[in-house]
Amino acid sequence: MYRKLDEAALGAILEAGIAEFARCGFQPASVAAVAKSAGVSVGVIYKYFGDKDAFFLACVRHSLDLLDATLREAAAGGGPLEARIQRLILALIRQSRSHASYNAMYNEITSGSCRRYAGTLAREIESRTAALYARLFDEAQQAGRLTERIEPQLFAFFFDNLLMMLQFSYSCEYYQERMRIFCGDAALDDTKMADRLTRFLLGAMKGDVCSISSLTTSEPPESRPACSEPNRISG
Amino acid sequence: MYRKLDEAALGAILEAGIAEFARCGFQPASVAAVAKSAGVSVGVIYKYFGDKDAFFLACVRHSLDLLDATLREAAAGGGPLEARIQRLILALIRQSRSHASYNAMYNEITSGSCRRYAGTLAREIESRTAALYARLFDEAQQAGRLTERIEPQLFAFFFDNLLMMLQFSYSCEYYQERMRIFCGDAALDDTKMADRLTRFLLGAMKGDVCSISSLTTSEPPESRPACSEPNRISG
DNA sequence: TATTGACGTGAACAGTCATTCACGTCATGT
DNA sequence: ACATGACGTGAATGACTGTTCACGTCAATA
């Protein structure tokens, strides 16, 4: 019992930390509660991680590794773009259900009490997916699969916005409740949700070549043939 | 000085509260700090609002009123659907910039330390927009302006997801940094951002009538004519 | 087996914060 | 001008939490 903690014990501490931070947020999380839930004394957390701040960052990074693996696995398979997107969405939904704490902790990271980590963590967390998605949609655009009327980075941004909200919707209480208000029972059917979001995204990728002529436009990336449909219906 | 506080003074306390809750989150927010920043003693906050929980709810509701007004105003004008959507987006972006605390507080509401309000607040906050958007897209679908392949409520859900993330992206530090990572300088141009998101949404509304035949489909709301384009390009 | 010291333990400390309430102040009514 | 009491004040209270460190334990070594 008085030997250095092994990998598994440290992992258990990190898991307990993730659960606690996800449950309360950074500041209200209690180090003593983490220690108790992990079956160790507070002392070891300070010996191994320094202080609460460093422990928090360790928890974030630990959860990042696992999320990364999920993402990579889901994105790895080949196949048509549509199928890949749908697979990614479904994987994220399922991962959010089964590892709710991980996603809930992400939500906590974005909160005000983590303000001083905002820059660092945003860069650490988002730059990977940002680059990945930007490349994906850049290639799609070159292959003529993504409308020329939206820059690939912006498309990647909207895409990730939808994915993040979907993850929160399956792992944080507030967002769960919100999804139920919006979708009713439709929220319960993972396959349906993934299917509809895929359709939504594919529609957005194809773009609407008509009916935007009247809008304020700022340097449209490319002009397109005129619209062949009735122009608009005011509602 | 020893008269009952007037409307303005109470408003100032609520504003100070919103700023504090937005800055730290619920638990770390200090009632004493709010009192100091509002120029009153802690006592009055307890006299007028009961306790910290009740004060928090009062702040949320106060900010809701103002947000509601913005939303209603932006949604009120007529005109073509496209223009209305774009106007709404632009209004939300500008409102997020000018009243960052309000949106940042929303983000805090979704956090774990507000768990016990999740149900109540979600219902209070979201049901208005949820119903509004669902009706909007229901009408659009009946007018043939929204693809039949997505249920209006789900479309409204995705729509609001995008709007929420956009608001956070202009008011919370973490999301601001994230947006910069994804979009670079494009994030700075409000008109451009509103324009691109509008295009994205209009594309999604129109839907992609092709190329989903290979996907897992769950009870597609309606069948559509076969696609006339090459089917897919694997990437 | 005796010794050693690396290691985890958890009581104790210092600081913070929500909440209370005895008190001082001043607008009002006479 | 005085008495009254409604009202805000802010020091005090009690609870809680991050962090430390003197101590006990036990695996390894000779």
Residue B180 in tokens? 């910069």
Taking residue B213's Cβ as centre, other Cβ atoms within 10 Å add up to 11
Closest Cα in chain A to B174: A118
Inter-chain touch B145–A108, beta carbons under 8 Å: no
Output the average pLDDT for chain B. Answer: 88
For residues B122 and A180, what is the distance between their CA atoms, to the nearest angstrom?
10
**Distance from the Cα of residue A14 to its chain's centroid:** 20
B21 within 8 A of B52, measured Cβ to Cβ: no
pLDDT number for residue B28: 96
pLDDT at A209: 65
The alpha carbon of residue B228 is apart from the nearest alpha carbon of chain A, in Å, by: 14
Query: How far apart are the C-alpha atoms of A126 and A155, rounded to whole Å?
Result: 15
Helices and strands (H and E) in chain A: how many: 10, 0
| Poorest-pLDDT segment among B117-126, B207-216, B223-232 | B223-232
Domain boundaries, chain A: 61-205
B221 near B151, Cβ under 8 Å?
yes
B23 has a pLDDT exceeding 80: yes
| Dihedral pair phi/psi, residue B26, rounded to 5° | -65, -60
Residue B73 CB in 7 A reach of strand C: no
Q: Which helix (H) or strand (E) holds A176?
A: helix A173-183
Say how far apart CA A88 and CA A152 lie, in whole Å. Answer: 18
Distance from CA of A190 to the nearest CA of B (A): 10
Cβ B31 vs Cβ B55: under 8 Å: yes
As a three-state string, the secondary structure of chain B is CCCCCCHHHHHHHHHHHHHHHHHHCCCCCCHHHHHHHHCCCHHHHHHHHCCHHHHHHHHHHHHHHHHHHHHHHHHHCCCEHHHHHHHHHHHHHHHHHHCHHHHHHHHHHCCHHHHHHHHHHHHHHHHHHHHHHHHHHHHHHHCCCCCCCCCHHHHHHHHHHHHHHHHHHCCCHHHHHHHHHHHHHHHHCHHHHHHHHHHHHHHHHHCCCCCCCCCCCCCCCCCCCCCCCCCCCEC
- Mean pLDDT to the nearest integer, B89-105: 95
Statement: B61-205 belongs to CATH 1.10.357.10: yes
| Stretch B68-73: mean pLDDT | 82
Residue pair B196/A207 in contact by the 8 Å Cβ criterion: no
User: What is the residue type of B191?
Assistant: T
Contacts of A211 (CB under 8 A, 6+ apart): A227, A229, A231, A232, B80, B82, B202
Measuring from the CA of residue B41 to each C1' atom, give the nucleotide at the shortest distance. D9
- Cα–Cα distance measured from residue B182 to residue B196, given in angstroms and rounded to the nearest whole number: 14
Put simply, the answer to whether B211 touches A218 (Cβ < 8 Å) is no
Structural contact between residues B94 and B190, judged by C-beta atoms closer than 8 angstroms: yes
User: Which residues 1-20 of B interface with strand D at a CB distance below 7 A?
Assistant: 1-5
Q: Compare A128 and A37 and report the one with higher pLDDT.
A: A37
- Protein A123 CA to nucleic acid C28 C1', in Å? 62
- Structure-model confidence comparison of residues B216 and B208, the more confident one: B208
Q: Residue B25: which of A113, A184, A200 has the nearest Cβ?
A: A113
Residue A234 DSSP SS3: strand
Q: CA at A46, C1' at C5: how many angstroms apart?
A: 20
Contact B114, B28 (CB under 8 A): no
Dist. CA A134–CA A127, nearest whole Å: 10
Among residues A146, A151, A211, A209, which one has the least CA distance to residue B211? A146
Identify from A56, A162, A182 which residue to disrupt to test chain B contact, counting B C-beta atoms within 10 A and taking the largest count. A182
- What is the distance in angstroms measured between the alpha-carbon CA of B27 and the sugar C1' of D11? 23
Q: Residue B2: pLDDT band by 50, 70, 90 thresholds?
A: low
Q: What is the pLDDT of residue A155?
A: 98
What pTM does this model have? 0.90
Q: What is the pLDDT of residue B210?
A: 59
Contact residues, B window 31-60, toward A, CB-based 8 Å cutoff: none
Mean pLDDT estimate for chain A: 88
What residue type is B90 in one-letter code?
Answer: L
Please tell me which of the candidates B122, B184, B203 has its beta carbon nearest to residue A181. Answer: B122
Q: Flag whether pLDDT at A72 surpasses 90.
A: no
User: What mean pLDDT do residues A101-125 have?
Assistant: 95
Q: How confident is the model at residue A2 (pLDDT cuts 50, 70, 90)?
A: low
Q: Is residue A230's pLDDT more than 50?
A: no
